């Protein structure tokens, strides 16, 4: 006997009956239970697949009702960058809503403090926000990730944020790396910067020293020597490669008490000593760069000047 096929628009029963094309016909006594079973299976599948989704719609909130997150990883905001964002907001408005959480009578910023600051500069009274229900851990994670993705968080603030995340929630470097989309090596190198003395950390945070310079300096344990080297790097505008040479000399115990110079500086120091001995007075070679500079010869009387001129060969 041919199996009847259900047509379109016949409802759930019609769809269920189509399963007969693929399965053997049940025995007469099992017909009722067999026809009910697919219905129950479909109901269970629907329960699993269809889930309630909470949609967060943007809400306009007054600026005075919003406060920044005290644990915000970013401690410094570039004024020029804020001015540019303010101008953009004046022209187009706040295009991306802030992410906030409700804290009693106010909203705390999770992501978007730069937009909040720029909106205040632009004279706005209210901004669009998305209110989310997050615990303290999720707030820290979202705030950190949002700032890192901006790519202009200074290396020290970034390292402090990683460290805070690890200490507050007992996370390993691998856990942090996974959450922020970085390698474990990146997290390790970043947090190592916090071992630097405060003075050196400030130079890195202000951009006076690069992360490359800082990594090289980490080989030095003595804080006083380390600060001295950092100052030399800044004053001489040394490259990372030159810094490696500088640190290598500093780590040699036999030369720790001697003036720390690079190879080419040792050459000029030797020339300076030779000129001083030749002239019998203080001589300084002052270089502006690798190709230019000046030589200063000190004299303290007219007679000494004549003697120096005689040595140079400028007297008759």
- Distance separating alpha carbons of residues 240 and 185, to the nearest angstrom: 20
From CA 223, how far away is CA 161, in angstroms rounded?
23
CB atoms < 10 A from the CB of 108, how many?
19
- Contact in structure between 4 and 17 (CB atoms under 8 Å): yes
Q: Is the dihedral of CA 294, 300, 302, 308 positive or negative?
A: negative
Provide the H-helix boundaries in the chain. 12-17, 31-49, 79-92, 113-121, 136-149, 155-169, 173-180, 184-192, 198-205, 211-217, 223-236, 240-250, 263-279, 302-312
Answer for the pair 208, 199: CB distance below 8 angstroms, yes or no: no
Q: Residue 124 is encoded by which pair of tokens?
A: 């706005």
What does DSSP assign to residue 257? T
Place of tokens 């570039």: 78
Those residues whose C-beta lies under 8 Å from the C-beta of residue 138, and which sit 6 or more positions away, are: none
**CA–CA separation, 162 vs 176, rounded Å?**
7
From 108, 113, 158, 227, active-site residue: 113
Q: How far is CA 201 from the centre of its chain?
A: 15
The answer to whether 113 is a known catalytic residue is yes
Closest CA relative to residue 137, chosen from 166, 178, 172: 166
Give the position of tokens 């909040």: 116
> Catalytic residues, which ones?
113
């Amino acid at each position: 006997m041919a199996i009847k096929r259900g047509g379109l628009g016949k409802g759930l029963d019609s769809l269920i009956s189509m399963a007969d094309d693929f399965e053997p016909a049940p025995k007469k006594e099992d017909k009722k239970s067999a026809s009910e079973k697919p219905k129950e299976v479909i109901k269970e599948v629907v329960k699993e697949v269809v889930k309630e989704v909470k949609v967060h719609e943007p809400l306009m909130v007054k600026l005075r009702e919003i406060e920044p997150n005290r644990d915000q990883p970013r401690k410094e905001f570039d004024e020029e960058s804020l001015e540019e964002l303010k101008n953009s907001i004046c022209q187009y408005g706040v295009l991306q809503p802030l992410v906030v959480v409700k804290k009693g009578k106010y909203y705390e910023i999770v992501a978007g403090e730069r937009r909040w600051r720029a909106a205040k500069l632009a004279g706005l009274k209210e901004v669009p926000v998305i209110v989310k229900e997050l615990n303290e851990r999720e707030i820290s994670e979202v705030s950190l990730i949002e700032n890192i993705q901006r790519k202009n968080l200074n290396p020290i603030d970034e390292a402090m944020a990683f460290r805070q995340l690890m200490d507050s929630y007992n996370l390993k470097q691998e856990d942090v790396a996974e959450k922020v989309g970085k390698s474990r090596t990146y997290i390790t190198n970043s947090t190592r910067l916090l071992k630097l003395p405060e003075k050196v950390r400030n130079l890195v945070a202000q951009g006076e020293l690069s992360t490359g310079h800082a990594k090289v300096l980490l080989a030095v344990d003595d804080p006083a020597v380390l600060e001295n080297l950092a100052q030399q790097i800044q004053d001489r505008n040394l490259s990372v490669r030159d810094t490696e040479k500088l640190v290598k000399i500093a780590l040699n115990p036999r030369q720790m008490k001697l003036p720390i110079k690079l190879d080419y500086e040792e050459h000029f120091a030797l020339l300076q000593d030779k000129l001083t001995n030749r002239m019998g007075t203080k001589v300084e070679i002052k270089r502006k760069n690798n190709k230019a500079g000046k030589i200063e010869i000190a004299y303290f009387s007219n007679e000494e000047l004549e003697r120096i001129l005689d040595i140079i060969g400028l007297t008759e």
